[in-house]
Structure 1
Amino acid sequence: MRFILLVVTLLTLTMPTIAQDSAATSAGDADIDTLIKIIENDTSRAALIERLQQSASAEPAVPAEAPPDLSIARQLAEYTRSVAEGASSTFAAIGQVFSDLQQGFSGAANGDLTAFRDIAVGVLLVGVGLFGSFLILRIVVLWLQGMIASRIANRAWYMRLLGAVGAAAIDGGSVVLAWAIGYVLALSVIGGASGRMGINQSLLLNAFLVVEMSKLVVRAVLVPRHAALRLLPVSDSNAAYWSFWLARVISLVGYTFMFVAPVIAANLSVGAASAVQALVMVTAVVIGVVIVLQNKLDVRQWLNDLAQKRDKDGLGQIFVMVGQFWHLVAIGYLIALLVVWFANPEQALPFMIGATVQSVIAILVGALIVAFVGRFVGIGLKLPEDIRTRLPLLEARLHAFVPHVMQVVRWVVIAGVVLAILQAWSLFDFLGWIGSEQGQQIAGSIISAVLIILVCIVLYVVVASWVEYRLNTTVGKAPTPREKTLLNLFKNAFTIALVVFGLMLALAQIGVNIAPLLAGAGVIGLAIGFGAQKLVQDIITGIFIQFENVMNEGDVVEAAGKSGVVEKLTIRSVTIRDMSGTVHLIPFSSVDQVSNMVRGFSFYVAEFDVAYDSDIEAVKQVMRDAFVAAMQSEHRDVVIDDLDLQGLVSLAGGAMKVRARIKTMAGKQWGIGRLYSETVKRMLAERDIRTPSQIVTYRTIDRPAILPPLDDEAATQP
């Protein structure tokens, strides 16, 4: 029958034209008649069988796959369907768990309680010996740890570290010794003459070792009884609180899953063991929720304090946001952990616990890196004394980079922690992505851009330090005013060029096309050249002033009607402080001439007015003697030539004007000039040589005076 049906199907597929030309009924009869004739004839039947064999051996044509629907609506529908199917399977699994628990309890009631009682007696004997010996050893350990804590109190940090390690080693030794005592007891007492112990005693001993070693880690970190051995900045109350609850949860979960549940499953029923595990998991989650709610406000206040210390910057805002909602996330995580355990304890629960442990480790490592880098940068930026003498601003410049460097390090570490958490929870395969061609290309571009920025920063620090060293007057050769001006201009120009080229190269490394930026910069520069002609004139004039070396910083000049000391000189403007202390910013486009009063050498021109009847030679002698007296003062080192006595230079206004010049170093003429003028004034007075202001001329006016008549009393008075 199978052969006949196969032949009918084949004929139906290979003769579509017959089926289309005939009616349905007649076609069916014709097919049957034809099939009968073929089967009755040996030759035709053999040909049909050969044809069927060839058709079976031929590979079926694979239909072309339709292109996948990549629309957002289709993807959203697929995601919604997968979520719904996952939720349905989860609820079904939870229902199956409760069904198994019910069957387990009923099976446990029908189990062999007598055998279970015998096993419990043997386990109880081993447990009494195990935990009794451990309790005695704990008393000795606490006494030894107290002695260590008293010896290292208020000592250096490395002594405290050694003490903490020693105390943890003693505690671990007590756990191992108690575990060994339990094994000896199980082999000698329970095993009897055979020296063999049951699997239940072995389960208890192994559970004891794992649980107590886990509790040992908590005790070594928190050290609730001895604050001197505690390395973390945790108060005594918090250390005792967390140590108590963590130890209880570890003991509850550890002993249940590693000892109680396997014993019940092996001797009573699997359902009873599952029931105990479910009860313990629910209890552990309830304890976790209670702990979260008890510490909700304390953790929020702690995170807010951290944000206040950081002045609520970007990381501080994250702390504030986490403090507002951390308890909800923690409670949701605990409930999800319970649901996942109910749904798929063999696969989902180990994955979730492993991802949680990896996430916690990533967070702790990130915090340690940030703390170590912060401490290293804060302590390690103390330069030697000779370098600080040569480069007094280098240490301050490096310290100025510390906040920015720490900010970058923090965000890099945060990004690394986030990637590690995503990798742990299989939300983003960072290792697979970084191993791909695209990932390596992107990572290489980012690393190249970062290296370019670091090189630019190092170059800036090196050039700025070199300029600072050249301008330092306490080390080496004192810089000239020309060097001061050019070095400051060079540092400014180098900084601008470094920022522009560094930014362009960094953008080019991360894939940004900088050609439009360069073209746009050229267009903008051309527009500025046409629209800001005054600015262009400032720059061009400033360039020629620098080439011609007309003035430098520290020179006393007159420019654009303002005279004073040049305080700052840029490529566009000059800053002058006049005699009254007023600062004038003068663009070079307003400067048509510059008068430099301190270039090469200087003259103090002394001019004095004396009366017409004064002796010119006596006046000249006074000027010579005053110069000799001035050369006896502290200003003698600035005078570079003898007195240039020019004598009488003009007769006007009822006075004679005499002049003398004192040649001095550049910019040193005013001190010696004031002293010389004071000395001349004093000597003129001593030698009775009058100035025009000392001569008073009285003139008589010829006109009758009208006087009032005198009375008799006034006439008799002398």
Structure 2
Amino acid sequence: MRIVFLLLALLLSPVAASAQIPGVTPEPAVEAKSSDADLDELIRIIENDATRAALIERLKRADAEADIPVDAPPDLSIVRQLAEYTRAAAEGTSATLQALGQVFVDLQQGLGGTLDGDLNVLRDAAVGVMLVAAALFGSFLAFRIIVLWAQGVIARRVTGGGWVSRILGAMAAALVDLGSVLLAWAIGNVVALMVGGVGRMGINQSLLLNAFLLIELSKLAARSFLAPRFEALRLVPVGDSNAAYWSFWLGRVISLIGYTFLFVAPLLAANLSVAAASAVQVLVMATAVTIGIVIVLQNKDDVRNWLSGIAERRGHDGTGQLLVVLGQYWHIVAIVYLVTLLVVWFANPEQALPFMLGATVQSVIAILVGVVIVSFISRFVSAGLRLPEDVKQRLPLLETRLQAFVPTVMQVVRWVVIAGVLAAIAQAWALFDFVGWIGSPGGQQAAGSVISAALIILVCIVLHVVVASWVEYRLNTSIGKTPTPREKTLLNLFKNAFTIALVVFGLMLALAQIGVNIAPLLAGAGVIGLAIGFGAQKLVQDIITGIFIQFENVMNEGDVVAVGDKSGVVEKLTIRSVTIRDLNGTVHLIPFSSVDQVSNMVRGFSFHVAELGVAYDSDIGEVKQAMRDAFDLLMQTEHREDIIDDLDMQGVIAFADSAVTVRARIKTLPGKHWAAGRAYSEIVKKIFEERGIEIPYPHVTYVANTSKKRGDAALPPPLQGEGPAKL
């Protein structure tokens, strides 16, 4: 039975194949006769032993060949793919050249057939068409006069208004223009019905009317945007000369191609010959492409200057440099495209031309959408991000931080949009099946990995902004309670540690999402850490000492400390080092491994120690009272808020060579003893002068040599030491 079915399939395959040929429909009688003959032949073969054995052997070989798997894996090597691509290109080039040769043959036959055709039929058809055309275009030209007058009135009324008035005026002018087109088309229909008989219209007149309606509506759209006569109604920002230039050429090209393909070619094909219609189409397409090339060459410099101006306004960034290159070579690309369009139309007007036009329209739409999105992003970035005043009061650095991150994110989004536009263009021209790839498992996996990695990075950025803003809010002295120095130190250390951890873990997770094996990275990090632990002992010592310093809370940011031989204000404190600015403004970075001791001068409270030397003949009681009176005057100044206790008078503490040292202490808030001490010293100096209390200081007296003889032995002048007496 299997052999019989295979035999029937082989015998009936020519009939099935002929049934699949377009335009071929087998007649029932012929099909029945062929089937009877095939059955008789089959019976004759089966009755003969020799032919039957040969048939069985042939069917066995066919069965064995059928068992061979046909879905063998293709050869996907680069050499094989290159060979397949080269063969396809060569076959396509050959087919194109053959099609071009056939076009010229058809053109020659068409021109020759025009001379030998039945011109009487064409003349009879042209008479009716000319009557309809006269009524159609005559009425349209008459209506155009009224339309121009009405549009002038509308333009004068909207002059000086904003964009809303301009748009409304353009819409009103377009409606008036549309009315003239529809009225002329209606008059043409009436005349066509009258020419063709009562209630009847010829096919040629219908072709003309339909062509007129479609073409004039297309030209109306161009006129509505360009408005060559009225600048107040123009929706495109171009000058009067450019608007008139483009309106003129667009109208001529639309009319030339439209009336040829919608009216002239069908008229010639129906009344003269198909070859003549093809010849006219070829001539018109060649003329249209020539006009396009002329337009491109005429506007070569203007477009280049326009693109260069845009690049200069952008500061010659990446996009600006691309625009400069495009301005240099855009005319070559445009001419090659027009010539390719003509060649493709010559070769395969039914398939290649619609594909090329559709791909062009899709590419233009994708580019326009991309330009709109990129322009919006650029305007958003240039305008900047502005936060409300209350938010800026609470978080002063948040706006600056967002203005640093948002442009970067928008730049990434801009490149994503550009990549999407390129993918849409490649999809339109069948260069890369992006939709098919994104629908495949591999494409979905790749897209999912990239999106996941991007989301992880975005979440990390958001977390960094949130944590940094929270730390900033806690450190803001204008809102809530004033943070302590300990809080300032710990919060800044937390922010730095969180940022480092976030960068490391975010990078690891993003790499894992795109398929990078992070296990070797983690192992490498462990090895590097071990190497650092053995080789960088100073660094480890810095970190360990810094950890204990933080635990012991011996200093914080803003404290005045002495670390080693340096002293000053702590400006920055990390886990490894401390940054100190001294009294001269010099910044010192001191690693903790070199710190033997830390002296904090502003922890808890401070003392100003006043040690004053007075003459031996001074009354110590009077000196003490003068110091107390100076303290009382100090408490009447602005420093009274910084002093937290009474004057600690300790009295005489030392007998120097020429002075008696009296000491007193003033207890102040942390770090306030320097200012209070300076003010107290000024007051003490003034009171001592008023009360005649002398502060001794050393004197040196120089006696000049008065001897006039060279031989006289002059004694050296006496050198007086310390003492309160004046010499």
Which of 624, 629, 632 is the aligned partner of 1:625?
Answer: 629
Q: Output the CA distance in 2 between the equivalents of 1:56 and 1:698.
A: 142
The corresponding residue for 1:438 is 442
CA distance in 2, matches of 1:633, 1:620: 21
Structure 1's 186 and 547: CA in aligned 2 closer, same or farther, altered over 3 A?
Answer: farther
Give 1:203-352 correspondences, 5 Å limit: 203-352=207-356
Secondary structure in 2 aligned to 1:346? coil
User: How far did 1:191 drift?
Assistant: 3.5
Deviation of 1:379 (Å): 4.6
**Cα distance, 1:151–1:592 mapped onto 2, change above 3 Å:** farther
Task: Tell me the CA shift for residue 52 of structure 1.
Answer: 5.7
Q: Are positions 1:505 and 2:509 aligned together?
A: yes
Q: Which residue of 1 aligns with 2:64?
A: 61
Separation of aligned partners in 1, 2:412 and 2:658: 80
What is residue 678 of structure 1 aligned with on the other side?
682
The aligned counterpart of 2:521 is 517
What is the identity, as a one-letter code, of the residue corresponding to 1:74?
Answer: R
Question: How far is 1:448 from its partner?
Answer: 0.9
Q: Please, which moves more after superposition, 360-369 or 225-234? A: 225-234
2:551 is the alignment partner of 1:563: no
1:9 corresponds in structure 2 to: none
| Per-residue CA distance 1:105-156 (angstroms, 9 max, x = gap) | 2222122323322322222222222223333333343344444444444544
Q: What does residue 381 of structure 1 align with?
A: 385
**One-letter identity of the residue aligned with 1:114:** N
AA of the residue aligned to 1:412: V
**Deviations 1:38-70 (CA, angstroms, capped at 9, x unpaired):** xxxx9x976556656655766521264676444
Q: Evaluate the alpha carbon distance shift between residue 696 and residue 578 of structure 1 in structure 2; reply closer, same or farther with a 3 A threshold.
A: closer
Amino acid at match of 1:126: V
- Deviations along 1:445-492, one digit per CA (max 9) or x if unpaired, are 111111111111111221122222222222222222222222222222
Structure 1 pair 562–380 and aligned structure 2 pair: CA distance change class (3 A): closer
- Measured in 1, the distance between the counterparts of 2:575 and 2:139 equals 86
Deviation at 1:361, TM superposition (A): 0.8
SS at match of 1:558: strand
Does 1:543 find its partner at 2:513?
no
Query: How far is the alpha carbon of 1:377 from its aligned partner?
Result: 4.7
SS of the counterpart of 1:692? coil
In structure 1, the partner of 2:40 is none
2:112 matches 1:106:
yes
User: What does residue range 83-232 of structure 1 map to in structure 2 within 5 Å?
Assistant: 83-187=89-193, 189-193=194-198, 195-232=199-236
CA separation in 2, counterparts of 1:707 and 1:88?
128
Deviation digits for residues 249-303 of structure 1 (CA, Å, limit 9, x no counterpart): 1111111111111111111111111111111111111111112222222222333
Which stretch shifts more, 630-639 or 234-243? 234-243
Instruction: Return the letter of the residue paired with 1:286.
Output: T
Amino acid aligned to 2:473:
Y
Task: Give the direction of change, closer, same or farther, for the CA distance of 1:269–1:48 in structure 2 (3 Å limit).
Answer: closer
SS of 1:62 mapped into structure 2 = helix
Distance 1:583 1:439, change over 3 A: same
Q: Which residue of 2 aligns with 1:429?
A: 433
Tell which deviates more after alignment, 411-420 or 314-323: 314-323
SS at match of 1:246: helix
Deviations 1:560-586 (A, max 9, x none): 211111122222222211111112222
The CA distance in 2 between the partners of 1:402 and 1:67, in whole Å, is 50
Distance 1:144 1:487 in 2: 73
Larger deviation: 501-510 or 617-626?
Answer: 501-510
| Residue of structure 1 aligned with 2:579, choices 575, 578, 582 | 575
What secondary structure does 1:60 align onto?
helix
Partner residue of 1:487 out of 474, 486, 491: 491
* Structure 2: runs of 5+ lacking an equivalent: 1-43, 710-727
- Alignment partner of 1:638 is 2:642: yes
The root-mean-square deviation of aligned C-alpha atoms, in Å, is: 2.6
| Distance change (3 Å), C-alpha of 1:395 and 1:145 | farther
1:621 CA displacement: 0.5
Q: Output the CA distance in 2 between the equivalents of 1:647 and 1:474.
A: 45
Query: What residue in structure 1 maps to residue 29 of structure 2?
Result: none
SS at match of 2:125: helix
SS at match of 2:138: helix
The structural deviation recorded for 1:646 is 1.0
Answer whether contact 2:103 2:346 (CA < 8 A) is retained: yes
Moved more, 367-376 or 335-344: 367-376
- Report the Cα offset of residue 312 of structure 1: 3.3
Match of 2:616, as an amino acid?
Y
Instruction: Name the stretch that deviates more: 556-565 or 608-617.
Output: 556-565
Deviating more after overlay: 453-462 vs 164-173? 164-173
Distance in 2, Cα, partners of 1:338 & 1:54: 57
Give per-residue Cα distances to partners, 1:383-423, cap 9 Å, x unaligned: 22211221222222222234323321221111111111111
Asked whether the 8 Å contact 2:211–2:262 carries over to 1, the reply is: yes
Aligned partner letter, 1:327: H
Which residue number corresponds to residue 22 of structure 1?
A: none
Q: Distance in 1 between matches of 2:564 and 2:160?
A: 70
Corresponding residue of 1:4: none
Counterpart secondary structure, 1:645: strand
SS at match of 2:516: coil
Kindly indicate whether the alpha-carbon contact (under 8 Å) linking 2:117 and 2:273 is maintained by their aligned counterparts in 1: yes
**In 1, Cα distance between equivalents of 2:604 and 2:327:** 70
Which stretch of structure 1 is more off in the superposition, 56-65 or 464-473?
A: 56-65
State the Cα deviation string for residues 516-565 of structure 1 (Å, max 9, x = none): 11112222222222222222222222222222222222111111211111
TM-score, scaled relative to structure 2: 0.85
Distance in 2 (alpha carbons) for counterparts of 1:618 and 1:302: 92
Residue 384 of structure 2 contacts residue 403 of structure 2 at CA under 8 Å; is this kept in 1?
A: no
Q: Do residues 612 (structure 1) and 602 (structure 2) align?
A: no
Cα displacement (A) at 1:690? 1.1
Question: 1:489 & 1:164 partners in 2: Cα distance?
Answer: 64
TM-superposed deviation, 1:317: 3.1
3-state SS in 1 of match to 2:191? helix
Matched, 1:420 2:402: no
C-alpha distance in structure 2 between counterparts of 1:417 and 1:375, whole Å: 19
Once residues 227 and 532 of structure 2 are traced to their aligned partners in structure 1, the CA distance between those partners, rounded to angstroms, is 70
Question: Which amino acid is 1:118 matched to?
Answer: D
Match of 1:394 among 394, 398, 408: 398
- Matched letter for residue 60 of structure 1: D
Whether the 8 Å contact between 2:545 and 2:592 is mirrored in structure 1 is yes
Letter in 1 for 2:525: A
- SS state of the match for residue 566, structure 1? strand
Given that 2:613 and 2:660 are in contact with CA atoms closer than 8 Å, whether structure 1 keeps it comes out as yes
Change (3 A) 1:209 1:529: farther
- CA distance 1:706–1:222, shift in 2 (3 Å): closer
The superposition leaves residues 611-670 of structure 1 with CA deviations (integer Å, 9 ceiling, x where unpaired) of: 011111101101111111111111111111111111111111211111111111111112
Would the alpha carbon gap of residues 688 and 198 (structure 1) be closer, same or farther in structure 2, given more than 3 Å must change? same
In structure 2, relative to structure 1, the CA distance for the partners of 1:298 and 1:457 (3 Å cut) is same
The residue type paired with residue 681 of structure 2 is S
Q: Secondary structure at the match of 1:184?
A: helix
What is the distance in 2 between the residues matched to 1:369 and 1:176?
37
